[in-house]
Amino acid sequence: MANLLQTTPEPFTFYAAVTDEESQEILQRVMPSSLVVLTPAWWTAIERAQFLYDHTRGEDYVFLAADDYLFHPGWLPPALAMMAQVDGVVTINDLFDGEQVGAGPMFSRNYISTCSGVFDEPNVLQHRGYHHGYADIETIQTAIERGRFAWCRDGIVEHLRYNSGKPGACEYDETYRDLEEHYSTDLELFQIRMHARDRANHA
């Protein structure tokens, strides 16, 4: 949070979903303007993100952050410049995943309210059937198909995954373990949904 505050002079609201009251109290103390909500421990990351989005205060753009991101100075203006071109979904150079995937994604509220982040449900960021993985990939590919996607090369939100080999990389924890344990089922769901999307597009 200190890194985010130091690198983001632009006004923003911080939203977080936590599973215990101690974390809630700490986050609200560090960033009093934030909205920190308690959510059930069994919820997936996708469910938490949607819950937070449903409780946002009407901001034009929403960026899905993670605690293994390192925000570099000046990361936001280039991302917003790309967003002005597509008014949809923007991912940001994370110095790890390469083009398209990147850090994020950042969503336009107008895009979500009019098109949705998925092909078969209104006003959602990502399909909540995913446990963790592939939700971003579906969102990105759907936005690409609609001509509403951009990758921001010049803004940097560095991804310090445990396996990145970078100084300051995060330690392997239960979040990474959760991602890996559900990888195959998320991949299977992704393939099923993309097949259904293609059929719907050609119906």
Number of domains in the chain: 1
Range list of H helices, 90-157: 109-114, 135-146
Lowest mean pLDDT among 13-17, 97-101, 108-112: 97-101
Residue 19 lies in a domain: no
Rounded Cα–Cα distance for residues 141 and 138 (Å): 5
Domain presence at residue 83: yes
| Percent of the chain clearing pLDDT 70 (strictly above) | 100
Residue 115 located in a structural domain? yes
Answer whether residue 152 is part of any domain.
yes
Mean pLDDT of the chain: 91
Kindly tell me if the per-residue pLDDT of 47 is higher than 70.
yes
Identify whether 109 is part of a domain: yes
Does residue 18 fall inside a structural domain?
no
189 within some domain: yes
Structure-block tokens of residue 112? 């979500």
Query: What does the pLDDT look like over 76-105, one tens digit per residue?
Result: 999 999 999 999 999 999 998 877 788 889
pLDDT attached to residue 203: 67
Ordered alpha helix ranges (H), the chain: 2-7, 21-30, 45-54, 76-86, 109-114, 135-146, 174-181, 183-201
| Residue span of the structural domain in which 93 resides | 59-201
In a domain, 45, yes or no: no
Q: Is the pLDDT of residue 9 over 70?
A: yes
Which residues, in sequence order, are bridge partners of residue 69?
Answer: 159
The pTM for the full model equals 0.92
If you ran DSSP here, which 8-state letter would residue 171 be given?
Answer: P
